[in-house]
Amino acid sequence: MFIGHFTERPYQDPNSGYFGATGRNLMDLAMSNDSYDPKLGADLYNRYLDERVFAEEMGFDGLMLNEHHSTPFCMGGVMNLEAAILARITKRAKIVLLGNILPIWDDPLFLAEELAEIDMISRGRLVTGWVRGTGRESVAHNAVPPFNWERFQEAHDFIVEAWTKPGPFRWEGEHYHYRYVNPWARPYQDPHPPIWIPGVMSRNTVKWAAEHRYPYVMLATELQPTVESFQYYDEVAAEQGYEAGTQHRAYLFKVHVDETEELAEEAGRKYVQGPSNPFLEGNQGIIRPFIQNLPGLTQRNNLLPTMRSFAAAASRGRASQHLKDKEGKAQAAPPPPRDVYKDQTEKLSIISGTPDTVIPKVRHVLETIRPGTIFFWDGDGAMSHDDQMRSLRLMGSDVIPAVREMSKELDLKGPFEVDPAKDAADDAPQEAAAD
């Protein structure tokens, strides 16, 4: 099993007025950066890097980064920069980018070069994922939404070719054109860094990932829809002539551990506080559905079962493909639960407690979804550095060792144990030899 750590690196400014319930408008993409404090930003960037170094010390296999734009809920506007720093200041953990937003890159050759440099500086510890981005990203970097999926696919094909095909060569595609592709920096890993695909409910993307045998990372979706999405992955894999396994399944979920149940609840409640974050279910942030669902960004009738639950879908930032919901009326939305934290702990959207109470819940998740890779989403929302450090210590002393034991018992192998690009049979002799 591969165990990773994740936080969105929220911009936590108690003085900003959009941190917690202060009455200021929390509408996504309606908040000005006029109150941004770079000195606070400096503290936060360094804090989050320090926490990653400590996470590695505590035994995490991977440090996951993500990227969003024009929003306080994620400071990773230039994720690759953080990755480059981690490449130098960490020693062992994989640096897992989930992911670069391909459609917003007008020059993906730059991206291929950046990632190759990161892979070399880290001596082959880069895992590179690709995403399509939300409407927020298309607006912020002004990428044409109807071509999002085309650009995603072409940029991917181009980057893999730039990494693997001896240059110079010419690329004349639909959206990208190069007369001289010959990047001097090539990835450390051969043939290139592992590619994992994070996502939520785009059926296109799950299908595409399965066709490429890329591990698919379900991002904090509810348990049953997650299971169904992986079943769809398995079906596509079967059509492609291979059997998908735990090495193809990854799951991000919110887990915080603390010294007492009281501290765990206090810190756990902070998941739903902090800056506006439509990706943190129950957060006070409000999305603008017509931006989140820009025209042509997501094809109609092409959604995974996650969409059946309106509440979950809304919290994920894609309220609905239905027009009435696009208009922001959300007539179908149920009234908000009385206590969003309790509600989420009950359905295991948030797991927070002492190791004794957290470990059985994590086990339930592993048994239900059977992933070979997990990421603990922690230290987010309004959680302080101290909150995060307490959790990381207990992850290291209790949770990670316990999860490793149960993953052996449940036979949950990650993509560094079984190569997702090869058939299980191909790996069998090597495993036998290793035993």
Q: How many chain residues bind another protein (CB under 8 A)?
A: 18
- Two structure tokens written together for 180: 């001289």
- Two structure tokens written together for 26: 């929390």
230-238: long-range contacts (C-beta < 8 A, 24 or more apart)?
A: 230/369, 230/370, 232/203, 232/206, 232/207, 232/304, 233/206, 233/209, 234/210, 236/206, 236/207, 236/210, 236/211, 237/210, 237/213
295 forms part of the interface with another protein (CB under 8 A): yes
145 forms part of the interface with another protein (CB under 8 A): yes
Distances (CA, A) of 161 to 108, 112, 147: 11, 10, 21
328 forms part of the interface with another protein (CB under 8 A): yes
Residue 431 C-beta: closest distance to another protein, Å? 47
- Two structure tokens written together for 209: 């990932």
CB nearer to another protein: pick between 141 and 308: 141
Taking CB under 8 A as the criterion, the residue among 46, 142, 182, 384 binding another protein is 142
25 forms part of the interface with another protein (CB under 8 A): no
324 forms part of the interface with another protein (CB under 8 A): yes
Contact at 8 Å (CB) between 17 and 54? no
290 forms part of the interface with another protein (CB under 8 A): yes
Residue 128 C-beta: closest distance to another protein, Å? 28
C-alpha span between 427 and 420 (Å, rounded): 10
**φ/ψ of residue 336, rounded to 5:** -60, 145
| Distance in Å from the first CA to the final CA of the chain | 17
Residue 78 C-beta: closest distance to another protein, Å? 22
Taking CB under 8 A as the criterion, the residue among 55, 291, 365, 403 binding another protein is 291
Spacing of C-alpha 95 from chain mean position = 12
294 forms part of the interface with another protein (CB under 8 A): yes
Taking CB under 8 A as the criterion, the residue among 144, 181, 330, 348 binding another protein is 144
Virtual torsion, Cα 113, 116, 118, 124, nearest 10 deg: 180
CB nearer to another protein: pick between 290 and 310: 290
Taking CB under 8 A as the criterion, the residue among 14, 41, 124, 146 binding another protein is 146
User: In terms of DSSP H, where are the helices of 135-260?
Assistant: 135-140, 148-164, 203-211, 223-240
287 forms part of the interface with another protein (CB under 8 A): no
103 forms part of the interface with another protein (CB under 8 A): no
CB nearer to another protein: pick between 319 and 395: 319
CB nearer to another protein: pick between 291 and 394: 291
Which residues, listed in sequence order, are joined to residue 2 by a DSSP beta bridge? 373
Residue 150 C-beta: closest distance to another protein, Å? 10
3-class secondary-structure state, position 129 = strand
* Burial of 235 (C-beta count, 10 Å sphere; 0-12/13-18/19+): middle
CB nearer to another protein: pick between 147 and 416: 147
User: Of 57-65, 191-199, 289-297, 356-364, which segment contacts another protein by CB under 8 A?
Assistant: 289-297
323 forms part of the interface with another protein (CB under 8 A): yes
147 forms part of the interface with another protein (CB under 8 A): yes
C-alpha span between 119 and 405 (Å, rounded): 30
CB nearer to another protein: pick between 297 and 358: 297
User: Of 49-57, 73-81, 82-90, 286-294, which segment contacts another protein by CB under 8 A?
Assistant: 286-294
- Two structure tokens written together for 230: 């992986």
104 forms part of the interface with another protein (CB under 8 A): no
Which residues, listed in sequence order, are joined to residue 352 by a DSSP beta bridge? 256
Residue 323 C-beta: closest distance to another protein, Å? 4
User: Of 120-128, 144-152, 304-312, 341-349, which segment contacts another protein by CB under 8 A?
Assistant: 144-152
139 forms part of the interface with another protein (CB under 8 A): yes
Residue 139 C-beta: closest distance to another protein, Å? 8
303 forms part of the interface with another protein (CB under 8 A): no
Q: CA angle, 213 as apex, 132 and 424 as ends, to 5°?
A: 155
Residue 1 C-beta: closest distance to another protein, Å? 42
Residues 6 or more apart from 226 whose CB is under 8 A from it?
218, 251, 306, 369
C-alpha span between 235 and 237 (Å, rounded): 5
CB nearer to another protein: pick between 202 and 226: 202
Residue 294 C-beta: closest distance to another protein, Å? 7
- Binding residues for another protein (CB under 8 A): 139, 142, 144-147, 288-291, 294-296, 323-324, 326-328
